[in-house]
Structures are given as C-alpha cells and as structure tokens.
Amino acid sequence: MDTSKFFRSFGYALKGITTVFKEEFNARVHFLAALVAVTLGVVLKVTWFEWIILILVIGGVFAMELINTSIEGLADLYSREHNPKIKKIKDLAAGAVLVAAITALLIGLVIFLPKILNQFHFNLR
C-alpha cells in the first residue's frame, strides 16, 4: 500500500471541505446551526446517545451539502445553458440537502426542546 497516496487523498478531501465552506453560503449556515446544536448539547448536558444522534445528523447534512455542491458543479461543467434535465437533477440534489436539514432540525427539537422547557419548569414527560 502506498501510504503517501493514502495521506494525499485526505488532503484532497480536506480541500473539498474547505472549498464548500468558502464558496457555498448554505454550508456556512449549516455550520452555524451545527455550532448552535453543539453548544446546546454542552449546556444542556445531552446524553452520550443523544451526542451520537447529533453527530450523525450534523455529519449527514454536511455530507449531503458536499454531494449537492459536487452535482451542481458537474452539471454546470456539462452545460451552462438552461436544460430541464439538468435543472431536475440539481433540484433533486438540493432537495436531498433540505430533507437532511429538516431531519436534523426535527431531531434537534426532539432532543433539546424538552430540556429547554424543563429549565423553565415545564415538564413534558
């Protein structure tokens, strides 16, 4: 196994991650939401299982954003002219990110809302 090639591939992946944050506004919005979730997790002392769920959904949203950005870039490389098939492909990829983000939001509400309400002595259980 060529270890230099293996480690170079990590460099390429990190370049892709930094590129999406530099070039895509939505990636920065997702990052801000992730920071809020992590901060709430620390402040509200979520359980280890809740941390696993939060990490999975945060990672899922970022992975979908990377895939969406890749698909949009390839589509634009193929053709900049209006093409209904390319539009459909881009819309589907954007929809996947939206589904992941809404799922993350709902999971965040399920985890954090009871803890926040309990801070104000509203007991949902």
| Domain at 3-119, CATH class | mainly alpha
Average pLDDT over residues 98-108: 98
Q: List the catalytic residues.
A: 65
pLDDT value at 90 more than 80: yes
What ranges do the domains of the chain cover?
A: 3-119
More confident residue, 119 or 93: 93
Rounded-to-integer distance, Cα 60 and Cα 52, Å: 12
| Segment 6-64, tens digit of pLDDT | 889 999 999 999 999 999 999 999 999 999 999 999 999 999 999 999 999 999 999 99
Which residue, chain included where needed, has tokens 């809404």? 102
Distance separating alpha carbons of residues 120 and 12, to the nearest angstrom: 47
**Torsion-angle region of 121 (φ positive above 0: left; ψ -120 to 50: alpha; else: beta):** left
Helical H runs in the chain? 3-23, 25-43, 48-78, 84-119
Place of tokens 């997702």: 30
